[in-house]
């Protein structure tokens, strides 16, 4: 085992943009096929293993705690679709879920259950992830799509973690996997009404989903037809079948603009019809509802509004739900007699119900001060009962069926937490931090009751803050291992996310991106000021774009944190966004700006890019975790970052752990994921002296 961190050679590489020349001494680490690169990553893994060897016992203990609290043999609440109840089972000792169904009686609205996770009587196994993953280091399921008549299944698999899937078709009447096979596909698919035709998506060289294809079952993939190709590199495409099963929807989206096409599901060879031509800056999505299409849009509606247009002759948008500033409408789901709108207001999610033919609405009500709620699946169109998911920082994931007419809510299942778990032993709070510009930033907090409020408790502060993605309050079994050891857990709802509406997002992107970072630091300092913790007891954690946040605050306010966990971190954004050949770069220009063409954007990004701003200062302890096959944030970003930290500020403690056979989400099996979480948790506990 190594006794010192690995040495990494420096090979200065210069680049010049807008008259600015910078040197990147570790650029060669981007050469994935270079044996020296792999050797370096493996040496870093060996050093990380050596440096955390003293935590092996703690890691094993935490893994066993997660495992012991989890009901390993379990069954999701079956969901009705046509003549079947569909569900997923997990089995003790097996890494992956098993997709199943059982026949349903015609008028049965109560999902079947065995109560103990055992197979339901008459079970038909549709797909067993454990069998598919046999002998593979990685396994991920992409699409899982059953024909309207329930006779065929389209599914896709990835064995590398690079999110390029092989699409297959299974005949559910015979159990036979058909000869139909298409490599190199992306997420998303849609069946025609009769199940004879399958629509799917492929990506270009930059990993941008850009083509929608039509495949006829039983015909060679070579005969497949491109139905739509998106030429604008800012846009990506998606495809789905409406809940009504009447239309195939093809949507093209950039970060700020949308365009939607539809094809009648019973005429799959028809040309796609455009609902409305794209207008720069206008986003919209389409949901079919009887004689009309429902349009969720932001035309003159910053937080979005809902309109309708005729199915037979899409044109004018007629207002249905007007724009209300501060109430962000996020999605619209149509059922035969109702419409359900998912929204957020005052930093919390919500569900609003509208009966068909009415403009009156009501909002579902929930008792806790902090929670997250949303629709869960709901494949049936002709129903008065919808399935919702509900959780909070103290309430495990819960599934309810809601009668949209009577408003009655029936709890179908609450995720079991085994052992001596008592939700009343924990408490959740909402605090507010004051940002540098006077903005109030919400913080969600959970702690075990009795945790001292005198500044002595250690605290883990999580953040993301990009793409209008919200980090809503949620329950975690793994988190209990922190809380029960006296640690406080907090989420900083910083700008750049969507927690407080569209403006919250706009004020944390492009040339306002630094608000994300200063908000997070303000949250850390507010938690100290309110005696939740002290600066030398805070560990920050974030992943992907949240990893950019971690790298930025490491440079900006190293004194505010004892440690930082950066997972698949986007810590070299300037280099990546300057290279349009890299995956996703061009589509990202409307999120970060285009530093290739705009000198102001270049200067601004360079001023906050973690890799560009490493200096000789005292950094907190840093743990970076990445994956070799990640196509979203390439492995070399954290590899270069850790190398530069060691070269520039060698007195610090920096660890790099690379999953050599995984992608953006890390290890794929649930036990492997628990082991990874146990590793990170042990490092966090060690950083604050609790290991």
Give the residue numbers annotated as catalytic, written as ranges: 544, 630, 664
Within 10 Å of residue 628's Cβ, how many Cβ atoms?
Answer: 21
DSSP 9: -
Contact, 402 vs 459, CB < 8 A? Answer: no
Burial degree of 222 (CB within 10 A; 0-12, 13-18, 19+): exposed
| Beta bridge mates, 564 | 540, 622
The SS3 assignment for 252 reads: strand
Cα(462)–Cα(541) distance, integer angstroms: 5
Structure tokens at 295: 């349009």
Cα(136)–Cα(671) distance, integer angstroms: 15
Rg over alpha carbons for the chain, rounded to the nearest Å, is 25
- State the virtual CA torsion across 347, 353, 354, 360 in degrees, nearest 10: -70
Residues in the chain: 691
Cα(158)–Cα(155) distance, integer angstroms: 11
Contact, 668 vs 138, CB < 8 A? Answer: yes
Structure tokens at 179: 């000869």
Cα(306)–Cα(321) distance, integer angstroms: 5
Contact, 138 vs 101, CB < 8 A? Answer: no
Structure tokens at 502: 């569209």
Three-class HEC string of 193-210:
CCCCEEEEEEECCCCCEE
The SS3 assignment for 575 reads: helix
Cα(300)–Cα(63) distance, integer angstroms: 51
DSSP 316: P
**Token pair 């039983």 in the structure block, residue:** 218
Element (H, E) at 556: helix 545-556
- State the virtual CA torsion across 320, 280, 225, 195 in degrees, nearest 10: -20
Cα(35)–Cα(410) distance, integer angstroms: 58
């Amino acid at each position: 085992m190594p006794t010192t961190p690995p040495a990494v050679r420096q090979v200065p590489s210069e680049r010049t943009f807008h008259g600015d020349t910078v040197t990147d001494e570790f650029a060669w680490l981007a050469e994935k096929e270079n044996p020296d690169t792999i050797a370096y990553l493996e040496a870093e893994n060996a050093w990380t293993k050596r440096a955390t060897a003293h935590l092996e016992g703690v890691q094993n203990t935490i893994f066993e705690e997660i495992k012991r609290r989890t009901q390993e043999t379990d069954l999701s609440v079956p969901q009705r679709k046509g003549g079947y109840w569909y569900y997923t089972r997990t089995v003790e000792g097996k890494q992956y879920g098993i997709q199943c169904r059982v026949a349903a009686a015609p008028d049965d609205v109560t999902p079947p259950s065995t109560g103990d996770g055992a197979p339901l009587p008459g079970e038909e196994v549709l797909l067993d992830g454990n069998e598919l993953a046999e002998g593979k280091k990685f396994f991920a399921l992409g699409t899982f799509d059953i024909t309207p008549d329930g006779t065929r299944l389209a599914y896709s698999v990835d064995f590398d973690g690079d999110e390029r899937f092989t699409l297959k078709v299974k005949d559910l009447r015979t159990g036979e996997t058909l000869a139909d096979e298409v490599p190199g596909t992306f997420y998303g698919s849609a069946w025609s009404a009769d199940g004879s035709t399958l629509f799917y998506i492929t990506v270009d060289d930059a990993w941008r989903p850009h083509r929608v294809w039509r495949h006829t079952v039983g015909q060679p993939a070579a005969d497949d037809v491109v139905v739509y190709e998106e030429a604008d590199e800012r846009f990506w495409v998606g495809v789905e079948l409406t809940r009504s099963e009447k239309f195939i929807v093809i949507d093209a989206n950039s970060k700020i603009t949308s365009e939607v096409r539809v094809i009648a599901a019973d005429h799959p060879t028809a040309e796609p019809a455009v609902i409305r031509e794209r207008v720069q800056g206008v986003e919209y999505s389409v949901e079919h509802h009887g004689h009309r299409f429902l349009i969720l849009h932001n035309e003159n509606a910053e937080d979005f509004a809902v309109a309708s247009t005729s199915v037979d002759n899409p044109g004018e948008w007629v207002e249905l739900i007007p724009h209300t500033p501060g109430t962000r409408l996020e999605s619209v789901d149509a059922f035969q007699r109702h419409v359900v709108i998912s929204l957020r207001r005052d930093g919390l999610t919500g569900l609003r119900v509208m009966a068909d033919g009415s403009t009156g609405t009501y909002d579902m009500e929930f008792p806790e001060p902090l929670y997250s709620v949303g629709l869960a699946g709901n494949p049936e169109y002709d129903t008065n009962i919808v399935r919702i998911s509900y959780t909070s920082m103290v309430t495990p994931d819960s599934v309810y069926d809601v009668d949209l007419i009577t408003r009655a809510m029936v709890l179908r299942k609450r995720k079991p937490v085994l052992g001596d778990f008592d939700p009343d032993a924990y408490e959740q709070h909402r605090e507010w931090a004051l940002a540098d510009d006077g903005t109030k930033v919400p913080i969600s907090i959970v702690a075990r009751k009795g945790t001292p409020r005198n500044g002595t408790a250690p605290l883990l502060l999580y953040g993301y803050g990009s793409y209008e993605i919200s980090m809503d309050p949620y329950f975690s079994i793994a988190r209990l291992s922190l809380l029960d050891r006296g640690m406080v857990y907090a989420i900083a709802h910083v700008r750049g996310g969507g927690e407080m509406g569209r403006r919250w997002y706009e004020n944390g992107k492009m040339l306002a991106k630094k608000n994300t970072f200063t908000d997070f630091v303000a949250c850390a300092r507010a938690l100290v000021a309110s005696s939740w913790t002290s600066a030398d007891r805070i560990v920050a954690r974030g992943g992907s774009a949240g990893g950019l946040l971690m790298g930025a605050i490491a440079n900006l306010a190293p004194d505010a944190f004892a440690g930082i966990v950066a997972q698949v971190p986007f810590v070299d954004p300037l280099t990546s966004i300057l290279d349009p050949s890299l995956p996703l770069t061009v589509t990202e220009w409307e999120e970060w700006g285009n530093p290739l063409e705009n000198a102001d954007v270049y200067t601004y990004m360079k001023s906050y890019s973690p890799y560009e701003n490493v200096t000789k200062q005292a950094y907190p302890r840093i743990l970076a975790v990445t994956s070799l096959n990640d196509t979203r944030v390439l492995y070399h970003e954290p590899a270069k970052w850790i190398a530069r930290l060691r070269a520039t500020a060698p007195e610090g403690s920096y660890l790099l752990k690379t999953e050599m056979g995984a992608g953006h989400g890390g290890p794929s099996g649930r036990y492997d994921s628990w082991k990874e979480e146990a590793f990170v948790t042990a490092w966090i506990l060690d950083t604050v002296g609790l290991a």
